[in-house]
Amino acid sequence: MSFWTDPLKVAADWLMSILTGWGMPEIAAQVLIGFLGVLLLISILMVLDNFLVWVERKVVSRFQDRIGPNRVGPFGLIQPFADIIKLLIKEDTTPGGADKVVYNIAPMLSMMSVLILWAIVPLAPTILNVDLNIGALYIIAAGAIGTLSIIMAGWSSNNKFALIGAFRQVAVMVSFEIPMLTMLLIPTILAGSMGMNAIIEKQNIWFVWLAPLGALIFLITAIAELGRAPFDMAEGESELVAGYNTEYSGMKFGMFYAGELLHAFTYGGFWSILFFGGYRFFGLEQVSPFLAIAVLVFKAFVGYWVIMWIKYTLMRIRIDHMLAFNWKFLTPLAFTLLMVTALMNALLAGASTWLYVAGMFLSNVLLAWVALTIARSYSRRERENVEGVKNVVTSRSIP
Amino acid sequence: MSQWIYIGLFFIVGLLIPVGAIAVAWILGPKKPNPIKQSTYECGIETVGDSWVQFKAQYYIFALVFLVFDVETVFLFPWAVKLGQLGLYAVVEGIIFILILIAGLVYTWRKGMLEWA
């Protein structure tokens, strides 16, 4: 057990020997070492958050056919640090009539809900932060604190736009949790456990080949949970001013903004853990935990890139369309997919690997095709109700 | 050390970092409140009407439907964990459970409870 294969244990043992050498009781030493480990991880995350701001601004600018920040430092890399310094020295105005306690706590809870999600992310086979065996449920539970912080922000701002934005955003987040919970059930069925590390270890074949529709629906619901476009009802820029964070300035706004980007990166990480194999890459993760961390971070960035790509390509969806899409299309589809996955998993349990993969994949594709056909015929009927039946001339009818 | 102490530490540190950042901002920032700065923002005009607008009842309906399905999925989690070892019987049982609740969703749909209006 050298430093390169198991860094956490080596460091913890060394610190423990020093601390007990100073006469500290073992329990206190363990808690202190745990505290230091958590502090290290969260500090790294905050620095990563800075980098994510830079990535976001460069990517959005490329999508919009411009260059983005390139003045401050090489390629604009120092830009986020300049932004943080600016936010730190801004005045902290509180709107008159705002509910002071709730107003101040909301950004802290929003950032906290993102940071605690990293407790269950397995970074390497030997660097598991907390190997909770109910990891999948913990994701939803921690996300609920974020939902709470949004309604706190909107309500306490004493601003009707913030309030409406917060109501809509919470309605969307809460509604899209149902398909997300259902999609979390699919890796649980395929791996036989809710723990994140167990799900990664069972992915000899990535779960995206076994449940592609599940990966897609998880992505859609994750984007809705994040409150990003095309589901960004809360910060409906130019629709509701800035939604629930209208009345926030300075570092409180910075907490909301940076928290949202880190949340997006975290969900990119979860998407890759649940469906794309996490830190696994054909045995590379056994060589060294640092390589495993690199693989996971790379996959999380790919997921983050997809989330950004969708944000900067699609238009915002209207709130009633969003909720109708969820309750009338996604939820029945998600439950049908769950039933089909459970059934196919049981029917093909003893089959050879290729037959298993092909069977699951084709059942997903078939279900997606059926769902899209139903949706298309329904929308054609709606359109014909509104516009009247049009005679479509096909090439077959021309003699 | 129990895992949950670690999660508790994550909560504490996760709360300390934003509190620290906002405290630094509070120390460093100027404090010059005046009534204009602190007035509520409404696109540059004076506010019209109450700030705390009436709560649309449809949100409550969505929350109720969410509650039903949330409890359903929580019941489905133990089923999903043990599905690999339980065979086809448990699968059919789970499918019947899900179908009963889908019937509930269809009921709310047909009753018009999922409309925004």
Q: Which residues of A touch B44 (CB under 8 A)?
A: none
Contact state of B9 with A34 under an 8 Å Cβ cutoff = yes
Provide the 8-state DSSP code for B54: P
Q: How many residues are present in chain A?
A: 399
Contact A165, A234 (CB under 8 A): yes
- Nearest-Cα residue of chain A relative to residue B66: A175
At A399 the pLDDT is 57
Whether A38 sits inside 8 A of B82 (CB atoms) is no
CB contact under 8 A, B29 and A171: no
Dist CA A245 CA A233 (whole Å): 12
Q: Inter-chain contact A111–B17, Cβ cutoff 8 Å?
A: yes
What residues contact A153, with CB distance under 8 A and at least 6 apart? A103, A106, A107, A110, A162, A166, A244, A245, A248, A256
Mean pLDDT computed over every residue of chain A: 85
**pLDDT value of residue A379:** 87
B1 interface with A at CB cutoff 8 Å: yes
Torsion sign (Cα): A8, A11, A13, A16: negative
E strands, chain B, are: none
Residues 6+ apart with CB under 8 A from B23: none
In this structure, is the dihedral angle defined by the CA atoms of residues A62, A68, A74 and A77, taken in order, positive or negative? Answer: negative
Note every long-range contact of A284-288, with CB atoms under 8 Å and residues 24 or more positions apart, other chains counting: A285/A124, A285/A125, A286/A125, A288/A4, A288/A5
Average pLDDT on A45-53 reads: 89
Compute CA distances A340 → A208, A210, A364, A374, whole Å.
Answer: 15, 12, 8, 17
In this predicted model, what pLDDT tens digit does every residue of A100-146 receive, in sequence order? 888 888 889 999 999 999 989 888 888 787 888 888 889 999 888 98
Chain A touched by B102 (CB under 8 Å):
yes
Q: What are phi and psi of A102, to 5 degrees?
A: -65, -40
> Per-residue pLDDT for A332 more than 90?
yes
**Cβ contacts (< 8 Å) between A90 and chain B: which residues?**
25, 29
Find the residue in A nearest to B110 (Cα). Answer: A328
Q: Quickly count: other Cβ atoms within 10 Å of residue A106's Cβ.
A: 27
Q: Is the pLDDT of residue A250 over 50?
A: yes
Taking CA atoms, what residue in B is nearest to A335? B98
Question: Phi first, then psi: what are they for A122, rounded to 5°?
Answer: -80, 115
B3-110 maps to which CATH number? 1.20.58.1610
Asked if A34 lies within 8 A of B95 by C-beta distance, the reply is: no
B17 closest CB neighbour out of A115, A323, A324: A115
DSSP assignment letter at B31: -
Average pLDDT over residues A152-161: 80
- CA A280 to CA A260: how far, in whole Å? 27
Residue A233 confidence (pLDDT) above 70:
no
Q: Are B18 and A112 in contact (CB < 8 Å)?
A: yes
Angstrom CA distances, A203 to A181, A273, A275, B3, stand at 20, 9, 8, 24
User: Three-class SS of residue A252?
Assistant: helix
Where exactly are the structural domains of chain B? 3-110
Residue A362 structure tokens? 């084709």
Interface check for B78 against chain A (CB to CB < 8 A): the answer is no
A218 Cβ contact list (under 8 Å, min separation 6) = A180, A183, A184, A271, A274, A275
Give every CB contact of residue B64 below 8 A, 6+ residues apart in sequence. Answer: none
ipTM associated with this complex? 0.89
Over residues B12-21, mean pLDDT? 90
The per-residue pLDDT for range A53-99, each reduced to its tens digit, is: 899 889 989 998 988 888 888 888 888 888 888 888 888 778 777 77
A251: which chain B residues are within 8 Å (Cβ-Cβ)? 21-22, 24-25
How far away is chain A from the Cα of B31, in angstroms, using its nearest Cα? 6
* Cα A273 from Cα A296, distance rounded (Å): 8
Give the mutation candidate from B31, B39, B41, B111 for the A interface (greatest A CB count, under 10 A).
B41
Q: What phi and psi, each to the nearest 5 degrees, are found at residue A128?
A: -100, 120
Chain B residues close to A158, C-beta within 8 Å: 40, 51-52
Q: Which residues contact A127 (CB under 8 A, 6 or more apart)?
A: A7, A8, A289, A292, A293
For residue A94, the chain B residue with the least C-alpha distance is B38
3-state DSSP assignment of residue A128: strand
Q: Do B91 and A119 touch (CB under 8 A)?
A: no
Is A377 a residue whose pLDDT tops 80? yes
CB A300 within 8 A of CB A121: no
DSSP A122: B
Of A131, A132, A252, the CB nearest to B22: A252
pLDDT at A230: 77
The mean of the pLDDT values for chain B is 84
CB contact (8 A) between residue A171 and residue B80:
no
3 state DSSP class of A179: helix
